Amino acid sequence: MDISVVIVSTNEAHFLRACLSALDRGLGGITAEVFVVDNLCEDDTVEVTRTVFPDAKIIRNPERYGFARANNVALRQAGGRHLLVLNPDTEVHPGALATLVRYLDHHPKAGIAGARLLNPDGTLQCSCRKFPSARSVFFRWLPACPSALRDRALRDYLMADWDHASARAVDWLMGACLCVRRSAAEQVGLLDEGYHLYYEDIDWCYRMWQNGWEVHYVPEAVIMHHYQRTSAQRLISRALWTHVRSCLRFFAKHRLLRL
């Protein structure tokens, strides 16, 4: 089997229908299995899955897990040569997942490959970034800082001055779409369940680089992501503290204090 697709829904059935409907065209003929994890949902995630993608394997968590643990439940059961973590608020374009599989097959040093992510209006999301430093975190969370300094630091962190038109190795990729080589995951380990939410994608990519694997951005694979409607809105609430806590855990775990 070429790929195992893992989608975790935490009351996101309203996005899941479109996500599952797009999968067949995104697979482009490669062999796949699909897991949908019901992360203690209170909506119709299971019913939507059974209706739209009846071949999907449904896992119902007995309690609500963090992002890493919820994905790992399915990743441990996956049998594909490659493993795909995919957000339910995404819609893959035709052939996107087949492109990621072919890319990994032709680039043996790549442990993770990620797609070009687009906003619903077709504009680019800066989904590949440099590893965070104390400086980039400071400017990101303190918008009252001088705008010129803040803008320069954030553009560097987001790689915003690059056109994102060519494949290349990058520090890390957003967890909305991560295609992982099985052998790399077996060496490095799965997502770190010590993160409840946020930074688990950065941590996974960091560990890949530490263990001799590369992380690659693949713009030929295109996926639409409702990033601003979900993840960004959650930061406004109590999840802001979760984000800060995950950031501090990442720096402490890897003993990083890069200015």
Q: What is the pLDDT of residue 146?
A: 54
Q: Quote the Cα angle for 200-65-89, to 5°.
A: 65
Q: Is 230 helix (H, G, I), strand (E, B) or coil?
A: coil
Averaged pLDDT of the chain? 91
The tokens of 202 are what? 């950065």
- 148-204 per-position pLDDT tens digit: 666 777 888 889 889 999 999 999 999 999 999 999 999 999 999 999 999 999 999
Q: Is residue 255 part of a domain?
A: no
Question: Can you tell me the distance from the alpha carbon of 93 to that of 11, in angstroms, rounded to the nearest whole number?
Answer: 24
Q: Is residue 140 part of a domain?
A: no
How many folded domains does the chain comprise?
A: 1
Whether 134 contacts 257, CB under 8 Å: yes
Burial level of 233, CB count in 10 A (0-12/13-18/19+)? Answer: exposed
Q: Is residue 252 part of a domain?
A: no
Q: Is residue 150 part of a domain?
A: no
Q: For residue 199, what are the domain limits?
A: 3-132+163-228
Q: Is residue 237 part of a domain?
A: no
- 81-91 per-position pLDDT tens digit: 999 999 999 99
The secondary structure of residue 237, as a DSSP letter, is: T
State yes or no: pLDDT of 257 exceeds 70.
Answer: no
Q: Is residue 215 part of a domain?
A: yes
Closest C-alpha to 139, from 159, 157, 153:
153
Q: Is residue 155 part of a domain?
A: no
- 123-145 per-position pLDDT tens digit: 999 999 999 987 777 666 665 55
Distances (CA, A) of 230 to 10, 223, 227: 11, 16, 6
Q: What is the pLDDT of residue 233?
A: 45
| Predicted structure pTM score | 0.92
Q: Is residue 240 part of a domain?
A: no
- 219-253 per-position pLDDT tens digit: 999 999 997 544 444 445 567 788 889 999 999 99
The CATH number that applies at residue 110 is 3.90.550.10
Residue identified by tokens 């441990």 is 76
The tokens of 110 are what? 């790549």
- 42-80 per-position pLDDT tens digit: 999 999 999 999 999 999 999 999 999 999 999 999 999
DSSP codes joined into one string, 150-218: HHHHHHHHTTTTS---S-EE-SEE-TTEEEEEHHHHHHH-S--TT-SSSSHHHHHHHHHHHTT-EEEEE
